[in-house]
Structure 1
Amino acid sequence: MNIEFNQTNQKIMFVLVLLCLALSGMAQQDLEKELETIPQEREKVTATFKSGKLINLHTNETIHRNELDFKVDHRFGDIAGDNGGISQFFGLDNSTDIRIGFDYGVSDRLTAGLARAKGATAVQQLIELSLKFRLLQQTSDDRMPLSATAFVSNTIAAVKANKDDPTAATSYSSFTDRMNYVSQLILARKFSPGLSLVLIPSYIHRNYTQFNDQNDLFALGAGGRLKLSKRMSLVVDYTVPFRNKEEKQYLETLNQTRFYNVLGAGLEMETGGHVFHFNFTNATAIQEMQFIPQTTSSWTKGQYRWGFSISRRFSFNKR
């Protein structure tokens, strides 16, 4: 009797185990279906770039609310060519442009900027007011495949007006003549933790220019960041201005020079709260309203220069 009872129990237990396994499989399938129907939260991609600028071009990055970013940019003279070499200590004896700026995070999406630059042309003593607003942010599921940020600036030239030459770029007759405007749409994508690219269509308007120069100019810039190590990256950018052919030829003949596209390359280093850029570029100016329409230096002639930028961020958020 005991033997028969044990065999019966074994059969019952075997059937129950099979039944439980079947029910478990059905329940798992139902749970998976339910989970598939639950909308997953879109994770936003952050830190596409580590700084608000590459070398010459802006990135899509804005500053967090109640944070202040202090930045110093410096451009030296030509490394080689007629104005470089050992006699000028490869450009270190000269300074083509210097910029000191402050950017403040009004919100996580809106950054307001104030800067003062030397200026690299006859238009000098530049005061820049800027706004940077994040329109779109890339998501990890690619439902939003890229980030988009709008940048606008108004630069005022405080240099003394040239009253002797009415064709000069600084022959100002009113305060509005000193105004210069830049508008950019910054399109960026982080392809991987080590690679980010940016594309920037730009529009520049200068209220007053040298005789027969363009007041309005379109340009297209592109750049990228390639991570080399935990704290070091390669950064590069390139800008193509679209000039009117007739006016370009007139100015090149008048000034005995040529206009060139702008190429920059360098290293980005993170050191705690600082981000340091060490770079080379043929642009003598730092601000968009000058280096995009007025770069007359060529890499092939040795007319490229050392440059650096260093930024330090401060937080005023209450703890």
Structure 2
Amino acid sequence: MNYEVTDCIDAGTEYCPCHLAQVGECILCSQLSGKTFCDCINWKGVCIYQEYVWNGNKAKNQRKNYFCKVLKKEIIDNKVIIFTLLTSHKIAQDLMHPGSYIFMRSPKTTQFYDTPISIMDVNTEENWIKVAIEIKGIKTKSIDTVQENENMLIRAPFWNGIFGLKNVYSAKDGLSLVIARGIGQAPMVPVLRKLYSNRNQLIVVLDNGNYRSNFVSEYLSMYDCKVINCKTLEKGELTDELKEIIDRAIEEDKVNLIHCDGADILNFKVIEYVNDRVKTASCNNARMCCGEGVCGSCSARYKGHVVKRLCKIQTEPKKFFEGRRLI
């Protein structure tokens, strides 16, 4: 059966119901999306409509801004900066999971400079988080102006940085293949941690992209990864070497998951090549501004006039690319 099972990353959390429910656009609740009967798409153990009524027929408070001291600032290859930020214990706990990300900016700028950045590492004992940023445009250049012992402004927590999260969590006691290219090495780390904690052996295909070297070697060693350095893309297509690695992983090694962290072109080509032979997951590269489904910058349009708000909707990677309108 080729139907799509969708979920909302915020459903059942302290941030649900959100502003989408308030205007009749809830992803899961039928009664908060224009219908007059109860027919939830994906029951989360909590009645969203009841929560909405109990909250006075309005959305719950959404994420807040926090000042975080910069404990450490490391410059990698003059293109990548790794920030270690001191935060509260609750925020550190909330950002432990694969797919977690924050919005961050310099306190000297306005909210227009909010930049979504994936979490690379978290320490809940010392209450710090670590993020890696590739310096490219106005927003990241403004973040680069913040120095050690100064404050960074973050908005958190957010969790929809990965499509196919349930596949990551269900992969246990086997062998998993993880493919990462360029800055995709950063969101790869929490996935490695989860797969390793699920007693999986790990094969990591690493493509440094335009970087001289990788910046995650300590994590690759920590999680006992077998590392294969490989060029993943050439002229917009998967290299023969990567195809051979994927085929061998599926047919001989019987991997339980293939996860890809890279640009959408790499994610799409990998998922297309795997073609349902094994479960997949990929990073979420949607352009985001608010993270709450309101601004529309993350919205993607699909056949049948379907609109998906990619900052909130949780789905299989294949369904993310399937039927998407590019114009």
The answer, yes or no, to whether TM exceeds 0.5 is no
Q: Which has the larger radius of gyration?
A: 1
Using structure 2 for the length normalisation, give the TM-score. Answer: 0.24
More strand per residue: 1 or 2? 1
Using structure 1 for the length normalisation, give the TM-score. Answer: 0.25
